[in-house]
Chains A and B, each alone.
Chain A
């Protein structure tokens, strides 16, 4: 098992002829990912690393049996690429670019919901199911197959955790870069159900941050439905608080959501194991392993 991306994933790379697109296509192919098509406007008919290139996503969908796409285009073209993929009926869309205008993502998010598609990122390293397949640009050497599922708003904190887990003999089922932007295509609560239902996943690690209320929503979900140990880290406890200007932010968070304290409290009340730092996540996992729970 594992979730979202696995050996049955047949991937399109949008922007395959670009420098990053080509480099990471090669990396993904070497890792075993089935890259079945590339898309670059005006480059249809060419081949990159043996992968056929199409002018549009729709043609790639018509001519191949693709079921997912990863969008390797610069931030300013992300919206057009994602809307094209969603319109072509791709069920799983991963975006990785940094600095995407948030209103572009707002529209993509809305369309993904209306189409019933799964959208991930932006500002994400992608998704990897170690030993099976990866879609994105993560340095895959540090990942090892196993039964801990990870999802993280931060790439560096996720790498750090995975590196230490692997060094301690704890492998991963699937690692998901939820992404650090204000509007992530999928949030923790969208993925908890998948991890919970996944046979391979025995424990779930959630690396969150201050701001927003995704961790609070996740806590609610876990309280109702969770059946596996969940470990959570909230980064940014001592991050500088932005000078608030308008009142709107204070009005919508008048109930106190968004702070690290609020998140940890909600998660702890749902039975989630709270980690102080990335090393602590590993310590908790080791203890679970000792107890035979993972």
Chain B
């Protein structure tokens, strides 16, 4: 779960990472009184809260000389789209004076399967460019989780970057705090860009990005509470209530896919796309779906804008075919299917019973096929209906 900047900074602050501190203004709030009560000094920075990189370049960061300008900028940003995401909150912080911009992050490295620290003396908006053109300007340290962060690491980052090691103590403290945050809050990523150095040598995290492992949210209650605030598609939320994973894919597609595993879903999407069909959404049922849940899954998929056909591909395991067939029957009786079609391919437990149910429905809009390739062909044959 990707946190908003102010949320990330709230967590980092709990672990002693120096952050500027600011004021969050939500859409619909009385901006003037929020600003007056915030105690923020000027000049200030008004930052759009969206979970995406590159927002500075996209005009999501504004400067304000006084409260009146801050109000204008906040009003302008709220509700605006930044790189496809709507701004529901802005974060106002006092503008900081500094002498240099560094980059610091800790991520879970897939190669070493351990936390990795990334550091650069060339922080800021061009960091990805630096990674490509001058990879040696980015220092990496793999941290053994059995040991954690030790003092020499900050010293290495500074010294190998050609920086003054007199900052070691400040960076060491910050790094240890960030690492504790990373471990205790189940982060996949904790990033500060830029990490700025003030003239007096003090370090301040001007930005914060944190991605928390979804599988660990059960033990991160404060992070879980934030999830409710995040902008998310209604169908994604609705699906989650049934423990389904609903994945929006391409807007405007006329096909959706439904399966009992993410691998099979990916295979179906690949095969449909290869044949020129545009997949709008995918839904992972997980294991052991009942007919009631199948019917809900179909309702959710057909509620996706533009979807005219759903491809159901179920392969054995703990999902029973007769429940799937029963679910299709139920969804139809509820009218989810009018003018739309379902291509269903099932293999596994109680397949015979399932065929009986489907045949008994006598509905031409439900097409049963055997085999994965055949299911794609059945969709292709009826392209004119999509």
Q: How many angstroms between the C-alpha atoms of A102 and B115 in the bound complex?
A: 11
Interface residues of A in 205-259 (CB under 8 A from B): 207, 209, 211-213, 235-240, 243-252, 254
> How far does the Cβ of B81 sit from chain A's closest Cβ, in whole Å?
13
Could you say which of A101, A157, A180, A235 contacts B213, with CB atoms under 8 Å apart? A101
Check B271 against A277 for contact (C-beta < 8 Å): yes
Residues on the B chain within 8 Å of A254, using CB: 128, 131-132, 135
Binding-face segment, B13-21, B71-79, B100-108: B100-108
The A-B contact count (CB < 8 A) is 184
* Contact flags B169-200 to A (C-beta < 8 A → 1, else 0): 00000000000000100101101010000000
Whether B145 lies near A238 (C-beta < 8 A) is: no
Cβ contact of A152, chosen from B114, B263, B317, cutoff 8 A: B263
Report yes or no: B263 in contact with A235, Cβ–Cβ below 8 A: yes
Across-interface contacts of B271 in A (CB, < 8 A): 277
CA distance A212 to B108 in the complex (A): 11
Q: A49 interface residue, CB < 8 Å from B?
A: no
B76 → A minimal CB distance (Å): 23
Q: Specify which chain B residues have a CB less than 8 angstroms from the CB of A111 in the assembled complex.
A: 146
Is B273 on the interface with A (CB-CB < 8 A)? Answer: yes
Closest Cβ of chain A to B139, distance in Å, is: 11
Most buried by B among A114, A211, A279: A279
**Which size class do A's interface residues fall under?**
35 or more
Interface SS, B side: mixed
**Whole-angstrom distance between the Cβ of B124 and the nearest chain A Cβ:** 10
Query: Which residues of chain B are near A183, meaning CB under 8 Å?
Result: 108, 110, 113
The answer to whether B211 and A154 have CB atoms under 8 Å apart is no
Known: A106-B114, A239-B269. A163 touches B213 (CB 8 A): no
Chain B residues whose CB sits within 8 angstroms of the CB of A154 once the complex forms: 261-264, 266
Closest to A152 in B: B263
Contact of A245 with B260 at beta-carbon distance under 8 Å, contacts A160-B372, A213-B110 already known = no
Given A160-B315, A252-B109: A246 touches B131 (CB 8 Å cut-off): no
Given A155-B261, A213-B111, A246-B53: A251 and B315 interface contact (C-beta under 8 Å): no
Residues of B within 8 A of A152 (CB): 263
Interface range for B: 35 or more
Q: Are A103 and B138 in contact (CB under 8 A)?
A: no
Interface string of A97-129 (1 = CB under 8 A from B): 001111110110111001000000000000000
B47 within 8 A of A: no
CB neighbours of A240 from chain B (8 A): 247-250
Using A101-B216, A235-B266 as known contacts, say yes or no to A246 and B191 having CB atoms under 8 A apart.
yes
The 8 closest A-B pairs by CB, nearest first: A154-B263, A156-B261, A156-B264, A101-B216, A238-B273, A157-B263, A246-B191, A235-B266
Measured CB to CB, the residues of B under 8 A from A are: 2, 51-53, 85, 103, 105, 107-111, 113-116, 118, 127-128, 131-132, 135, 138, 144-146, 183, 186, 188-189, 191, 193, 209, 211, 213-216, 218-219, 247-250, 259-264, 266-267, 269-274, 279, 315-317, 347-349, 371-373
Q: A154-B262, A240-B250, A244-B53 are known contacts; what are 9 more A-B pairs with Cβ within 8 Å? A: A100-B215, A142-B316, A157-B261, A157-B264, A238-B272, A243-B85, A245-B2, A249-B107, A277-B271
